[in-house]
Structure 1
Amino acid sequence: MKQNLKVIGEHTNHIFKQNTQITQLGKSGQIHEAVKLFSEMTRKNTVTYNSMISALNKNGKFNDARHLFDNMPRRNLVSWNTMIAGYLHSDRIDEAYRLFVKMPKRDRFSWTLMISYFTRKGELEKARELFDLFPHKRDVAFWNVMIRGYGEKGRIVEARRLFDEMPLRVVVSWNLMLSCYTRNGEMRLGREFFEGMALRDVVSWNLMVDGFIEVGDLDSAWEYFEKTPYPNVVSWVTMLCGLARSGKILEARRLFDQMQNKNVVSWNAMISAYVKDYQIEEAARLFSDMPNRDSFSWTTMIDGYVHVGQLDKARELLNQMPYKDIAAQTAMLSGYIKNKRMDEACQVFNEIAARDIVCWNTMIAGYSQMGRMDKALDLFKEMKDKDLVTWNTMIIGYAQIGEMEEAVKIFNGMKIKNVVSWNSLITGFLQNGLSMDALTSFKLMAHEGITPDHSTFACSLSACANLAALQVGKQMHNKVLKSGHLNDLFVGNALITMYAKCGCILCAQLIFDDLDEVDVISWNSLITGYALNGYGKQAVQLFEQMVSKGLQPDHVTFIGVLSGCSHIGLVDQGLKLFKHMTEIYSIEPMVEHYACIVDMLGRAGMLSEAFEVVRGLKIRANAGIWGALLAACKTRGNLKLGKIAAEQLSEFEPRKTSNFVLLANMQAEAGSWDEVENTRLSMKYTEAEKQLGCSWIEVRHQLHCFQSNMPMQPETAEVYSNLKTLTSQISNLDCVSKSSLLDNL
């Protein structure tokens, strides 16, 4: 008998060890070894099966786990719960729920699994449905789970109703209800509830302190902190973090020094406060005094050195770190990228053993920002788990270097696109002068059911402005009104520019006047709009209003107002503003400002003065300056200066024939036919180099684009036929008009 018991005991002990080994193999990811051990076992009990099911679930082998579960000789509650837990862990809720319904018997853990899952996912109706079916209504824990779920979703009224219905409450219940108020910013109701609490502990006081900190009421937070009967380390750290986050460094340090029991969180909070305030040396002193450091301590200091540009010290600290933490390495990576030290960034990247998605995206973004899309593409192809940020970064990168075909390829390769993806594509088209493609993308975006945001509208309105597509712009304006983005400053400024460039300056003014808040870009858009439409005096008046309201003009402001002066011949006013730009506002003139001055002087017939401005430039003149001078020379018939301007322009725009045409016309008017012939000879270029002419027209709210080499289309013959008919009718009317005139004479 004793011998038999001994054998049974040995067998039981052996199975127990094997079961434990299966569990450990599953936790460490060695699922194949676990399966092999399970299959080799001659004796298996229910615990063996449960251990194997758990191991398979932990390694994502849910179908294998279910097959094993279905073929178990005997199941207990643990078997059911283990299988359900596996499904829930992988968010396979339907399969988990079906198993739950089939359970012959449920224990408290079974109900907890399902209700907790639904509350955690915010599916509170389903959680409440199960809660109402739960047989043990006096189990406080389940009431607490539901109250927490309602609180996390901000459904305070339902949480309070459930709290009031509780048959039994413990201090945790009271604190959970209090946290519903404090964590949702309802501090008036939270204070009332706190005063009426039947049970309180230090957690209750800490919740009040934290709640007031979150709404920015530090005085009330300090009041409750001081009243806390027996503050614990959480009380001190909560108040310390609040002061530190609010920039009250001295108060935070005073509190820190008073703490008798400082934990690593309190040290980290104080160091983080100094880092955010750019007091890196003080942060470093605290860091060196720390008795114990965690990964956050090291990462905070490394990130701090990165932010103040001390990359060598950051790298030195990273090398000293006793264990490599990916957050610290990524901070170092970002620092090198920000300072365009890509070789060192690559070195850090290669040192990261287990790269996460943030690390990959940071490196790809670095190469994209540097325009090294070949390197970015290599990493993109190597990366296994890409997210939307990865794809969007590649689109932006290709757009920035003008390779929109590659950007479109990346975009088309995306299985899931969000509004940022579409915005990246639309912005890319806009930046590369492809406004028609930008508007087409906006239209396709709507067909895909993606709701545009403020950035989408602003970019699309800019495309309308570039094309002078007024009707499309008006349609876009209506969509903005319906979407509620009208008061978005970014969109409002784009609307001002769109109407101004389409010639509706009064509409632009109305948009400006209706904006709740305007900035320097708003003023610039309107000033430039008035100047563009020939209202130079109004542009100057707007500039004066802007300055009187205390806004500081920038270089764009002066381009607009100087352009306005140029168009209506306000030479003295323009020169005065140009002088004020440098002497009063300390704005260094750019080539665009000089182009306005040259254009202004040229239009006023002051060609010698304009040429002297060009000759005296400290910066290299561009096509805009020489073009303005050439146009003025044509108007005033100054062939000598015109020839100089045309020659200079040919260096900047060698393929632009309009400059040579202008010069040839001037030479013809002067009777210099030999020079005309020479100029025309220099205009010859191969067909391959020819820049295709392009124009567009807006008909019935649709834009139609035409290129000079566009193949004949079915409608073309009809267009030409109608054109001939109209031309004939006009000629006849002209003949009739002339005949009538002769008769009257």
Structure 2
Amino acid sequence: MRLRSSGENGSHVFNQNLKITQLGKSGRVEEAIQVFIEMSQKNVVTYNSMISAYAKNGRIVDARRLFDKMPHRNLISWNSMIAGYLHNDMVEEAHGIFVSMPKRDSFSWTLMITCYTRNGELEKARELFNLLPDKRDTVCWNAMIAGYAKKGLFDDARRLFDEMPVKDLVSWNSMLAGYTQNGEMRMGLHLFEEMPERNLVSWNLIVDGFVEIGNLDSAWQYFKKIPNPNAVSWVTMLCGFARNGRIAEAEGLFKQMTDRNVVSWNAMIAAYVQDCQINKAFRLFSEMPERDSISWTTMVNGYVRVGKLEEARKLLHRMPYRNIAAQTAMISGYVQHKRMDEASQIFNLICTRDVVCWNAMIAGYVQCGRMAEAQFLFDQMTNKDTVSWNTMITGYAQVGLMDKALEIFEAMGERNIVSWNSLITGFLRNGLYLDALKSSRMLWQEGKRPDESTFACGLSACASLAALQVGKQLHQLVVKSGYVNDLFVSNALIAMYAKCGRLFNAKLVFKHITNVDVISWNSLIAGYALNGYGKDAVGLFQEMLMEGVHPDQVTFIGVLSACNHSGLVDQGLDLFESMTEVYSIEPLAEHYGCLVDLLGRAGRLDEAFKMVREMKIKPTAGLWGALLGASKIHQSLELGEYAAKKLLELEPHKASNYVLLSNMHAEAGRWNEVERIRVFMKERTTEKQPGCSWIEVRNQVHSFLSDDPSQPRIAEIFSILRTLTAEMKNIGYLPDFISSIDIL
């Protein structure tokens, strides 16, 4: 057996260290660990390489554990650990390493300043910058300039740039990148012309800036001016064409490339994937001289995108190494198709999961309403981000568990606007309108800036509460916040004013919308219908058709409801026929409900009953209720009893159904039946939440429950109610609720 000489040993260790570095860069961290374990001799470079491999693959805890075990550390070891924390967005931990360092070099300072600037903590970065022992270090100046520019603080960046004792090309490019990456191309071009010298980075920044704002013609002009474009130049232009659907031009550019690297191939494959040309993408993938993890992941994601999950799974199994991005793409595919058991199988194979992977699984369970499993995974997560918390809030809100949603919300360390919107939307969906408004007010109190979703939810709550004054206040805030031209908010404003009976204001908002959509029309039509202006609603519908807007199911619910409220029987029937025959819209229960109610009110009970029996969908409680109500109006006891029987099968515990049937028998003088129904009602109906009403007084919404003795003016309220009831009886108006009180 031949022993290695010291030179050979050194060469072997060098090669093994290099191998660990390469494996770490390609995401093959398990193989890197195996090489590290098998090494008989390790030096400080070996440890540094392994620390970097761990950190770059999200295993920062393992990186720190290895760092703490190192027999000897050099400056690179400390810097590698800071860089690892920086790579994983762990700023405080990076700072902890920084302050513990026995010695720092310019790279240490640059890393830490960059760590803060990337995290948006510019004040802390500036504090460190002011402590710099060597103010001539251009690298730290450049890091600060890049930090200010990235945040759009161009005045601060430019001031620092002008103060620099010595500017290098990186300084100019840092300033240029700030402009181009924030879409400030006018200032970027001005600086580009000022530059004493330019390199490929400068040209590529200009091309990329135009690509990002979608100005491909200008990007192409500058691309053609580049003296010697490199792979980045070509790929930037190629991605620009691909991203904007100009696949033919991307293909032409790809064919012109003389020196294609793996990034170029990946960019063209991604272009085909984005355009859903999966066969072309796979053909190119098969022709690649070499593939990296991005190549495989892009193809897996491509098959997922077009719904070919079996092909995606086969490709995932063919990958020469495991890659969390490809596995997460596969999980997302199964999640989109609600195949959670298969998603779980992939998830369980992943040794080291990142936050994206966890969130994909939790979101999948949430979408399927499987909140117990979502909660189980959420509890297991060690690094939860705001997406994790927000997903759980949304999930509980969707299944109606607002107490749990609120519990999650209150347990959050840091909330963003999405957190607040998820909670407010949850209250809104579950009919807790006052809670939605209270949460909107609390958002302001916490200093958060509401967005279009916040305003739309707040306005929807006002619409449901008919809280006009609060709605007007929100409208003023919408104008001040700059969301007055947002279509989503404008449509909510139309609905709010319409439901509060202010049709003039609703129409005014509608007229000021630049590009109205079908929702805008639907909101206005429904508003006119709700307020009893049936003919105007039908007129709006005709106007909508003349404008070339295609109606949807909601449109017809609104216009049929308008016909119902105004007794426009023939027009209602014609519209219903056109919905199915002309627009090929399948009727919903709501459409049938409008027609049944319309026919019933007009006394055409046989037609209404025939429609219920012959319709394609299963009759709902609302349909039988409409038929029962019509039977009562026109005193058709036989049909009323039949409708009531069907209704009680669907809603056996709802007291109002028994009351209506009881009233019909009372009007027919069948008092034995009245008594029987009354006894039956007491046996079958269950205790429900007390009724809740609200009223808006001096810009505040007040709520009160029925039979609530704690109300300070309850006696006065009942006295006024009795007076109003007596007045209505005197003028011959006796609504259903009064006769119900008398009988039961």
**Range into which the TM-score falls when normalised by the shorter chain:** 0.7 to 0.9
Which residue identity does 2:688 align to in structure 1?
Q
Q: Displacement of 1:380 after TM fit?
A: 1.5
1:657 to 646, 655, 658: 655
Which whole-Å CA distance do the structure 2 matches of 1:588 and 1:554 have between them?
10
Q: Deviations over 1:71-130 (max 9, x none)?
A: xxxxxxxxxxx9xx99x9844899899999xx9x99766775676566656676887898
Counterpart in 1 of 2:460? 462
Change (3 A) 1:586 1:303: same
Counterpart in 1 of 2:541? 543
Which whole-Å CA distance do the structure 1 matches of 2:717 and 2:626 have between them?
39
Q: Deviations over 1:483-526 (max 9, x none)?
A: 33333222222222222222232332223223343221111111
Counterpart in 2 of 1:532? 530
Tell me which moved more, 472-481 or 22-31: 22-31
Q: Deviations over 1:212-233 (max 9, x none)?
A: 3233232333333333333332
Which whole-Å CA distance do the structure 1 matches of 2:546 and 2:298 have between them?
45
Q: Displacement of 1:596 after TM fit?
A: 0.9
Which residue identity does 1:631 align to in structure 2?
G
Matched, 1:237 2:239: no
Counterpart in 1 of 2:565? 567
Q: Displacement of 1:147 after TM fit?
A: 4.9
1:698 to 695, 698, 719: 695
Change (3 A) 1:727 1:235: closer
Q: Deviations over 1:285-305 (max 9, x none)?
A: 110111111111111000000
Which residue identity does 2:568 align to in structure 1?
L
Q: Displacement of 1:559 after TM fit?
A: 0.8
Change (3 A) 1:56 1:408: same
1:354 to 352, 360, 368: 352
Change (3 A) 1:620 1:250: same
Counterpart in 1 of 2:379? 381
Counterpart in 1 of 2:715? 720
Counterpart in 2 of 1:3? none
Q: Displacement of 1:140 after TM fit?
A: 5.9
Which residue identity does 1:720 align to in structure 2?
A
Change (3 A) 1:188 1:651: same
Which whole-Å CA distance do the structure 2 matches of 1:256 and 1:683 have between them?
77
Q: Counterpart of 1:685 in 2: which secondary structure?
A: helix
Matched, 1:503 2:501: yes
Which whole-Å CA distance do the structure 2 matches of 1:380 and 1:123 have between them?
29
Q: Displacement of 1:686 after TM fit?
A: 5.9
Q: Deviations over 1:310-340 (max 9, x none)?
A: 1011000111111111110000001011111
Counterpart in 1 of 2:574? 576
Which whole-Å CA distance do the structure 1 matches of 2:100 and 2:477 have between them?
48
Which whole-Å CA distance do the structure 1 matches of 2:166 and 2:706 have between them?
83
Change (3 A) 1:202 1:579: same
Alignment of 1:60-459 (within 5 A): 90-91=91-92, 144-145=142-143, 147-156=145-154, 171-172=169-170, 175-176=173-174, 178-191=176-189, 194=192, 197-459=195-457
Counterpart in 1 of 2:8? none
Which residue identity does 2:526 align to in structure 1?
T
Q: Displacement of 1:721 after TM fit?
A: 6.1
Q: Deviations over 1:651-687 (max 9, x none)?
A: 2221222222222222222233343333333322267
Which whole-Å CA distance do the structure 2 matches of 1:220 and 1:574 have between them?
55
Which whole-Å CA distance do the structure 2 matches of 1:34 and 1:222 have between them?
48
Q: Displacement of 1:633 after TM fit?
A: 1.6
Tell me which moved more, 203-212 or 329-338: 203-212
Which whole-Å CA distance do the structure 1 matches of 2:724 and 2:240 have between them?
82
Q: Counterpart of 2:692 in 1: which secondary structure?
A: strand
Contact 1:527-1:557 at 8 Å conserved across structures: yes
Question: Under a length normalisation based on structure 1, what TM-score does the superposition of the two structures give?
Answer: 0.81
Contact 2:48-2:80 at 8 Å conserved across structures: no
Counterpart in 1 of 2:516? 518
Which whole-Å CA distance do the structure 2 matches of 1:684 and 1:203 have between them?
81
Change (3 A) 1:223 1:369: same
Change (3 A) 1:127 1:375: closer
Change (3 A) 1:719 1:320: same
Counterpart in 1 of 2:487? 489
Which whole-Å CA distance do the structure 2 matches of 1:584 and 1:290 have between them?
52
Tell me which moved more, 141-150 or 290-299: 141-150
Change (3 A) 1:106 1:503: closer
Contact 1:25-1:55 at 8 Å conserved across structures: no
Q: Counterpart of 1:703 in 2: which secondary structure?
A: strand
Contact 2:79-2:107 at 8 Å conserved across structures: no
Contact 1:565-1:600 at 8 Å conserved across structures: yes
Matched, 1:593 2:591: yes
Contact 1:25-1:34 at 8 Å conserved across structures: no
Which residue identity does 2:413 align to in structure 1?
K
| Percentage of pairs with the same residue | 57
Q: Counterpart of 1:486 in 2: which secondary structure?
A: coil
Q: Deviations over 1:326-368 (max 9, x none)?
A: 1100000010111111111110000000001111111111111
Q: Deviations over 1:377-411 (max 9, x none)?
A: 11112222212211221121122122222222222
Q: Counterpart of 1:278 in 2: which secondary structure?
A: coil
Contact 1:143-1:166 at 8 Å conserved across structures: yes
Counterpart in 2 of 1:632? 630
Change (3 A) 1:280 1:139: same
Which residue identity does 1:605 align to in structure 2?
G
Counterpart in 2 of 1:69? none
Which residue identity does 1:719 align to in structure 2?
I
Contact 1:31-1:56 at 8 Å conserved across structures: no
Q: Deviations over 1:430-458 (max 9, x none)?
A: 22222233233333434444333222222
Q: Displacement of 1:564 after TM fit?
A: 0.8
Question: Under a length normalisation based on structure 2, what TM-score does the superposition of the two structures give?
Answer: 0.81
Q: Displacement of 1:144 after TM fit?
A: 4.8
Counterpart in 2 of 1:11? none
Which residue identity does 1:697 align to in structure 2?
W
Change (3 A) 1:719 1:198: closer
Contact 1:170-1:199 at 8 Å conserved across structures: no
Contact 2:91-2:116 at 8 Å conserved across structures: no
Which residue identity does 1:492 align to in structure 2?
S
Q: Counterpart of 1:485 in 2: which secondary structure?
A: coil
Q: Counterpart of 2:629 in 1: which secondary structure?
A: helix
Pairs aligned (count): 678
Which residue identity does 1:350 align to in structure 2?
N
Counterpart in 1 of 2:4? none
Counterpart in 2 of 1:71? none
Contact 1:392-1:421 at 8 Å conserved across structures: yes
Q: Which has the larger Rg?
A: 1
Unaligned segments of structure 2, at least 5 residues: 1-40, 55-61, 731-744
Contact 2:81-2:94 at 8 Å conserved across structures: no
Contact 1:25-1:31 at 8 Å conserved across structures: no
Q: Deviations over 1:127-179 (max 9, x none)?
A: 78987998988776566555545543445566667667777665555545554
Which residue identity does 2:715 align to in structure 1?
Y
Q: Displacement of 1:615 after TM fit?
A: 1.9
Contact 2:396-2:404 at 8 Å conserved across structures: yes
Q: Deviations over 1:696-727 (max 9, x none)?
A: 232534434333454x32x55x5326855997
